[in-house]
Amino acid sequence: MSEEDRYVFIAEWYDPNAALQRRYQLIYYTKDQSVEMYDVKNHRIFLRRTKYEELRKEDLFVGNKINVFSRLLHLIDYGDQYTARKVGSKKEKTLAMIKPDAVMKMGSIIESILDSGFLITKAKMVLLSRAEAMDFYREHHSKSFFNDLIHFMTSGPIVALEVVGDDAVASWRKLLGPTNAGIARSESPESIRARFGTDGTKNAAHGSDSIASAARLDLNGMFDTSSRTNKLELEFFFPSSGGPGPKNTAKLTDCTCCIIKPHAVSEGLTGKILNDILSTGFEISAMQMFTMEKANAEEFYEIYKGVVAEYNEMVAELCCGPCVALEIRDADAPKRFREYCGPSDPEIARHLRPRTLRARFGKNKIKNAVHCTDLPEDSVLEVQYFFKILDS
């Protein structure tokens, strides 16, 4: 097979049984979507070439975490120069931040981002403290609008997103449009600021103004940090050190849990589902993207073990890629939101309750778009599992 037909990466997997970080060469064949894995340390084949349609070519870039047969692999480097040249040369990560004035429109903004060909690899709703906002915008400290900007940016939650794409910094800024929303409406009417912004401060979203202040992947997958003296913008929200960054916005009271499942995320449905939830009158009071280890998925779904025949398939789906966890608040949130999600089988939902989330976005009983808390007494516990335990 010629080199054009395959991509090679170096991947790491944490083996919880041995408490070891194991390293593999991962080979992905584009022709038939098959994968092969080679154990680097022991010099032997770990996984013979096997068809694996859940993995897409777009998911393969250094820094991403992918799930292959329930193993969460961290792609840490390119395995050959061909892969580095084809995949890494134009690939950039940048920060896309939805400001307080546009959080209610986050579904539409995320839809625009995905429709423009970006991948969203991290997401978190946070409420900045005054000190955090001043740190983030320190380059504007001497400007006349600084105090108004800080007041605005701490007035409500924001949504920070890590987006990946070819020339992502420039492409995202083009999609954003001019800084002043009024100018954007005349010069770039399809842009995000034209559609969702009000003026020069309340302009819906933020984008890094240079590769240095975002982060660029070079051929070795390292960040180009010839940057600013303060933190990289992505590092500010998503520290590579494993630190928490700004706190999530979960209130952990009068709430219920919703998870947009990995299949729905990979199908680009996140924005549509968020839009639907918000337009129905529910409050999304916390949101965060997680990539689950199998052990976490088993722990989360433990109450279904031995009760639901599809338990193992449910676990496999939840840890097969990124999911988006939501804290939903409303009067009688557990009961009302569960009714709104509909029957767990989308086919039954389409017959009985065609306007429900699962009827509209689900495919089958396992890939049914969303998980919602079944028992009211488990609502806060499920929200805590994501926003208190997994986020710590």
Active site residues: 206
Q: Is 385 left (phi over 0), alpha (psi -120 to 50) or beta?
A: alpha
Q: How far apart are CA 95 and CA 242, in angstroms?
A: 17
287 contacts 159 by C-beta, under 8 angstroms: yes
Q: How far apart are CA 133 and CA 127, in angstroms?
A: 10
Q: How far apart are CA 363 and CA 174, in angstroms?
A: 35
Q: How far apart are CA 18 and CA 133, in angstroms?
A: 42
Q: How far apart are CA 50 and CA 147, in angstroms?
A: 57
Q: How far apart are CA 249 and CA 238, in angstroms?
A: 15
Query: Which residue spans within the chain are E strands per DSSP?
Result: 6-15, 20-29, 34-39, 44-51, 65-68, 71-78, 91-98, 119-126, 158-166, 205-207, 215-216, 255-260, 283-291, 322-329, 370-372
Structural tokens at position 307:
């009760």
Q: Please report where in the chains the tokens 């690939």 appear, as a residue.
A: 91
Give the other-Cβ count within 10 Å of 339's Cβ: 12
Q: Name 71's bridge partners.
A: 68
Phi and psi at residue 195, to the nearest 5°: -80, -35
Q: Is 252 left (phi over 0), alpha (psi -120 to 50) or beta?
A: left
Structural tokens at position 249:
């916005």
Q: What is the CA radius of gyration of the chain?
A: 21
